[in-house]
Structure 1
Amino acid sequence: MATSSVSKGCFVFKPKDSKKRKTSVTADFFNKGKAVSENDRLRFSTYESLRQQMKEETEKLQDNLNAKIFDSLLAFIKKSHAQPHSKVNDWSYQMRCREIPTAALVLGVNVPDHEMTFQSLTDLLKQSLTPHVVCLQGKECTTVKQVLQKVLMHLMGSSVNDEEEDEDVHHSVDFSQRKVHCSMASLSGWYNATTQKSTSNSPTRKRKSSSLGQEQSPPIVIIFKDLESFLPKVLQDFIIISSNYIQQLPLVLVFGIATSPITIHRMLPHTVSSLLCIELFQSLSCTDHLATVIVKLVLTTKFPFKLSGKVLQVLISIFLYHDFSVRNFVKGFQLSLLEHFYSQPLSLLCCTLDEAKARVQNLTHDDCELIRQVPSIMGYVEDQDFEKQVKLLTNDQYLKDVVQKLLTGLHIYHTNYFPVLKCLHVFTSSLPKYPLGKQIRELYITCLEKNVWETEEYSSAFQLLGMMAKDELMCLLQKCIEVLKSSKQQRALTDTMQKLEEFLTKFQQPDNIASVEEVEEDEEHKTSPRKSLRKKTDLYQLQKTLMEMKKSKRSKKLSRFEVLRMEVLEFVDQLIRQYLLPPETQTFHEVVYFSAASTLRRHLNAAPRTALQTALSNPYYYLQNEVLKSEGGTITNTAPDICIVYKLHLECGRLINLYDWLQAFATVVSAAEEKDPDKMSNEQVDEVLHARFIRAVSELEFLGFIKPTKQKTDHVARLTWGGF
């Protein structure tokens, strides 16, 4: 076959392993090449415990979020092939029986999360409804024959024979396996034989109700994981074939849709879609799912590990601008946990408060020296008087006692922080244009990075709150009280909740009308400047009178509701300034907060072109071979062939002459092999260097640096410009 490539190549794509490979991290990973100490083992066990707890929490959360839609889907599948006796002769029921029951499951654009959802759905179906469940993917089913093969192989558990297969293929199959033809008739025969066999084994079930008879004939559920990836023609033919066997096979189709339900009608004409009885199922949006995950994993004191504002912003940016995958967000969170325990030796104190206090007493002198080098501890020492500074720097036991108090203060800080943050979100999430963000994650990032009360958005939010009506403000106060009740009660939060309840009680009382004297005095104050306008006056007196009227308008007396509303807002503002301080203000926060945003971004948001150019221009960066060290711009003759070819191609223009390129490559390589390039024979160049050169050029073409061109047959076109 003809090819436009510089050279032909063979590329191998390994299939997925049937068994998932599990990689385990050991305590050796944390010691960084040194001898494993007891603290390393303790740090590793703490990491493993936290990771397992977070994993169980996310799985539990996922099951709870999918429970509602899964229950509706199971109910639909159960009733899809039910045959009530009163409706057997009904014409409309007979028409519906000719249609294939189809569930359109709209999961959203977060495609990486779909695999976990379908796996949970498959397990649930097999446990509670039917063992006959098949999951199909578009990349594996490019023809109708492949679709039928996948369905029969998953259901029948035998090798599927096709009339077009060669005899060699027949011999490669074990004779113990039963071979059948790839057709729906074979599936129908197998299903009837299976159901009759199960019925004959339990004759007492024949006299039971029809609902139990449905259990003896479980439906066959075929799940199309990614409907948009299937070829429309393949999907149409399979539906037409299946509709002819719907009276013999209780088929149920499940369409996994990432975009919109209208996709079904775009892919299927009316003649085919009319063969389906479609019911729509809408899953929870990925943004709402993320908000729930953040509340359960981040905005809680259940897990001592925390993220800084920049790290959380990196994870959320990847979620919003790349994949909308909550699963990848959780993986990034777990990676942050691993990086924190790996890079921070004092992370062994990132545990519950009681465990941390016990571990502090077992710290060695070297651990105490590490504590003294923590930036926040250094600032804390500088703020103390001279005697305490000497004790903190010389007395290990005194330092341990102080660290225990600091850990207790950090725990109290988090216990008060999150309920107050949720209360602030309650007040600001319903404001017009959402000055502090609609989602609580936006408000949390702002509070982590700076003093939120110093921002313009905070000022505009409280200006809007100052114009809020009585009913709205009472509703917000009630929600805040519920938030504080659901949190772990501290002394400060209990007093705060009682104060909010007092405000709510005052709002529920009828407004007191101002006294008549105050009203008359106010009216007299308002009318007196106006009376002076009727008299003859000069320009100065007129300006003075207008200023008095403007001042009297500004100094209008507030009503009892307005005064009470102002008191509530002042109390909330004081609460925020007291408890929503950034984590950097807390001493010894480094032990629980992970702040290496650049490390996390390098791992999760990689730049492949930068990595390629770094590897090709400076191979020592990855290979760490001293021979490969070179000055900038020079070509090392001991570098790999592709690196030499890459650096040579940087010296060329848009079109590269292959012969000149080969001669330059031979010159550089011959210098490495201590050969005289002038004395080299053409045979040596053709047999050895030419093959190495073609292979390197082919690799550059595969990486996208060059391409063939029709302008000149002995030239290639360069696709990139400039080096790293």
Structure 2
Amino acid sequence: MSWRPKEALLKRIYDDASVKTVKEVVSFVNSADSAKSDRKLHAGLIVTGPDSSVVLSLFESIAESANLESRTILVTLSSGQSPNLKTALNYINHCATSRNLDSQSGVIFDEAKGGRRLNYDLQILSDYVQSHSIDKVLLSFQDSEAFEGKVLTELIHVLSSWKGRIPFVLLFGIATSVELFQEKLSTDTIRCLDGSAFDVQQVGARDVIKAFQSEQPNLWVGPGLSRTILQRQKDYIQSHSTLINSLKYAYMTHFFANPLSIFLSTTQSIASSQKEHYEAVRNLPSFRRYAQTLIERKEYESLRTLLDDNESLGDVVVQEIKNGKQALQAILRATDVLFRLQSSSTLKTQTPWTEMYIRAMRAELAGSVAFKEIMASIKKLPSDNMKDMLNHLAGMSVPFGLIDFMKELDQLTHGSEEPKVPLRSAYDVHHETLRTTVVAQKVSLSKNTSTLSTQDSAYTKIVDRIYSILCSYFETTLINPQDLFLNEGLIFDSKSPHREVFTPKPRFAVERALSSPHDYLGCDCCGGSEDGLSATQPATAILYQLYLESGAMINTADLWSAFWTIVGGDGIEDEEAGQQRAL
């Protein structure tokens, strides 16, 4: 259960999302012509979104690519490093000509001219560019919206005045929009810029969780934890690194805190396991259900072997872990199929993929309103949309045949009298008409179904078969993950694992023991009285349950009377003597 493959996968997702933007920006930087006669500065406006970590990695990729293709100096400016114009110019000179910087004084010695200049004089940078044959001076403003408008305006004007001597190219990282960024600048400042806008493809939480769960996963994030992570991501607009760290925390917590995680690595599970691991498996709720299933099948010898032989239990655990992984992957695949069906439908309200995943892991997706609406919309699709849907499903490698349906649709549409007009099923609203009837000054409306053509009738039969296959597929696949054997090791759904593991809960433990003593005593006398009070239960348990049933004011005599009614004798002995013994 190594985290490194997951981390490499997530990094690749973010790199792939920004690679197109990086190429476009690098091409823009390299094509910037510094020999133009006007004083406009080439400016790239990169809309990165609110994720600051994406901005940092994006500008690093741009800097690496730009340096490979030309002699480019990169200077990164932040709002904290540029409180005023002089400090900003000083920082630019410092980063670009750091070899010639005399940090002990407020001036810089210029080797080319043999003089001393003020540290914020851009003539220093101009001489450095000429002596070192620099092609571009790339200034990146990663948090451009955090700059004060006055400082940014003055800086752009100064840089514009040096345009003919220093080949400046500006890159602005924008978290909101280009329009809002322009409001910070004056009209004269905007005229100094020759801007080009670039949009970075956003990687949402859906893409991260989907990738995390799709490529040979050993652990699935449960619905409760997934909803908590996604809700926090939505409320606080956190960076993708925070989301990844949350998943990493869940992943490593499960690995270190749950001893059952040793069975997830099937190559080492048997060799590394101890007898305590098998005892833990035998005490799992999922093992009890598995044992109950064996009893119902009357496989008593198999159950006895699992209870007594650790080696046999280990073989079953390895096989059931494999089956559980396949079942969870099938649930994830079914969620993708349903999401694809939704995108092919004409529904106005679209359910996010993450919401579908959470409902699927709670075994609530098949019975949800969204599921019913999506399945109902499939029966109303015209033939052209149905073809597109089948093509999309064919590319997803679904475990049911679609080629025959596609061939039948092609034959049916080619044989239609009007090939350009799509076929419609009997469930389409185009085949329904409203009929108005007036009887005794009362208006009544009724729906009538028009007669279907031969092609539409044949298309309706195809739609019914497709609908039936999809319903059967979802019914078989969308099972309850909690019913899987060893789901406690496959699914991690703890929102606060540290508190749940290390925080003692004496009140809860005592109250549960008093409410359900049969769970702790393991005796036969209390087993049949789970739903009521019994004289065989411990006296403290009876008193506690009577206390729960009483009101705010408790009469001691009434409490004793009720208690004696439950634990009292059969009336043969003297009542007073019996009460004394009870006390």
TM-score bracket, shorter-length normalisation: 0.7 to 0.9
CA offsets 1:67-115 (integer angstroms, 9 cap, x no match)? 11111111111111265xxxxxxxxx523xx211111111112334322
> In structure 1, what residue type is equivalent to 2:171?
V
**Corresponding position of 2:411:** 509
Q: So what's the TM-score if we normalise by structure 2?
A: 0.73
> In structure 1, what residue type is equivalent to 2:98?
G
> In structure 1, what residue type is equivalent to 2:313?
L
How far 1:291 sits from its partner (Å)?
A: 3.4
Q: Take 2:348 and 2:362, find their aligned partners in 1: how far apart are those partners?
A: 19
**Corresponding position of 1:394:** 308
Q: Take 2:187 and 2:102, find their aligned partners in 1: how far apart are those partners?
A: 34
> In structure 2, what residue type is equivalent to 1:293?
V
Q: Which among 453, 464, 473 is matched to residue 575 of structure 1?
A: 473
Q: Which among 374, 377, 396 is matched to residue 483 of structure 1?
A: 396
How far 1:556 sits from its partner (Å)?
A: 12
Q: Is the 8 A contact 1:101 1:277 kept in 2?
A: yes
CA offsets 1:425-461 (integer angstroms, 9 cap, x no match)? 1112343446661x32221111111242222322222
CA offsets 1:655-706 (integer angstroms, 9 cap, x no match)? xxxxxxxxxxxxxxxxxxxxxxxxxxxxxxxxxxxxxxxxxxxxxxxxxxxx
Q: Take 1:457 and 1:179, find their aligned partners in 2: how far apart are those partners?
A: 70
Q: Is the 8 A contact 2:263 2:317 kept in 1?
A: no
Q: Take 2:174 and 2:267, find their aligned partners in 1: how far apart are those partners?
A: 51
Structure 1 residue ranges without an equivalent (≥5) = 1-45, 84-92, 171-177, 196-216, 486-492, 514-538, 540-545, 603-620, 622-724
**Corresponding position of 1:378:** 288
CA offsets 1:225-257 (integer angstroms, 9 cap, x no match)? 111110111111111111121111111110111
> In structure 1, what residue type is equivalent to 2:275?
H
CA offsets 1:266-306 (integer angstroms, 9 cap, x no match)? 1221212111111111111343xx333333222x1423221
Q: Is the 8 A contact 2:87 2:120 kept in 1?
A: no
Percent of residue pairs bearing the same amino acid type: 17
Aligned residue pairs: how many?
Answer: 463
Go from structure 1 to structure 2 and tell me whether the alpha carbon gap of 1:194 and 1:163 turns closer, same or farther (over 3 Å shift).
same
How far 1:52 sits from its partner (Å)?
A: 0.9
**Corresponding position of 2:12:** 60
Q: Secondary structure at the match of 1:484?
A: coil
Go from structure 1 to structure 2 and tell me whether the alpha carbon gap of 1:131 and 1:466 turns closer, same or farther (over 3 Å shift).
same
Q: Is the 8 A contact 1:417 1:579 kept in 2?
A: yes
**Corresponding position of 2:377:** 464
**Corresponding position of 1:341:** 255
Q: Is the 8 A contact 1:428 1:435 kept in 2?
A: no
Q: Which among 243, 254, 259 is matched to residue 160 of structure 2?
A: 243
Q: Is the 8 A contact 1:219 1:252 kept in 2?
A: yes
Q: How does 1:36-51 map to 2 (within 5 A)?
A: 46=1, 49=2, 51=3
Q: Take 1:302 and 1:150, find their aligned partners in 2: how far apart are those partners?
A: 48
**Corresponding position of 1:184:** 122
> In structure 1, what residue type is equivalent to 2:182?
H
Q: Take 1:568 and 1:430, find their aligned partners in 2: how far apart are those partners?
A: 14
Q: Is the 8 A contact 1:105 1:283 kept in 2?
A: yes
Please tell me whether residue 586 in structure 1 is matched to residue 484 in structure 2. Answer: yes
Q: Is the 8 A contact 1:308 1:595 kept in 2?
A: yes
Q: Could you tell which deviates more after superposition, 584-593 or 115-124?
A: 115-124
Q: Is the 8 A contact 1:159 1:179 kept in 2?
A: no
Q: So what's the TM-score if we normalise by structure 1?
A: 0.59
Go from structure 1 to structure 2 and tell me whether the alpha carbon gap of 1:286 and 1:362 turns closer, same or farther (over 3 Å shift).
closer
Please tell me whether residue 283 in structure 1 is matched to residue 200 in structure 2. Answer: yes
> What value does the CA root-mean-square deviation take over the aligned residues?
3.3
> In structure 2, what residue type is equivalent to 1:455?
S
Go from structure 1 to structure 2 and tell me whether the alpha carbon gap of 1:72 and 1:268 turns closer, same or farther (over 3 Å shift).
same
**Corresponding position of 1:227:** 144
Go from structure 1 to structure 2 and tell me whether the alpha carbon gap of 1:340 and 1:67 turns closer, same or farther (over 3 Å shift).
same
Q: Take 2:447 and 2:136, find their aligned partners in 1: how far apart are those partners?
A: 80
How far 1:357 sits from its partner (Å)?
A: 4.6
How far 1:326 sits from its partner (Å)?
A: 2.3
> In structure 1, what residue type is equivalent to 2:311?
Q
Q: Is the 8 A contact 2:45 2:172 kept in 1?
A: yes
Q: Take 2:151 and 2:103, find their aligned partners in 1: how far apart are those partners?
A: 18
Q: Take 1:372 and 1:426, find their aligned partners in 2: how far apart are those partners?
A: 41
Which structure is higher in helix share? 1
**Corresponding position of 2:318:** 404
Q: Take 2:17 and 2:242, find their aligned partners in 1: how far apart are those partners?
A: 17
**Corresponding position of 2:209:** 294
How far 1:179 sits from its partner (Å)?
A: 8.9
> In structure 2, what residue type is equivalent to 1:500?
L
Q: Take 1:104 and 1:255, find their aligned partners in 2: how far apart are those partners?
A: 5
**Corresponding position of 1:110:** 51
Q: Take 1:262 and 1:376, find their aligned partners in 2: how far apart are those partners?
A: 57
**Corresponding position of 1:143:** 84
Please tell me whether residue 94 in structure 1 is matched to residue 8 in structure 2. Answer: no
Please tell me whether residue 256 in structure 1 is matched to residue 173 in structure 2. Answer: yes
Q: Take 1:339 and 1:382, find their aligned partners in 2: how far apart are those partners?
A: 31
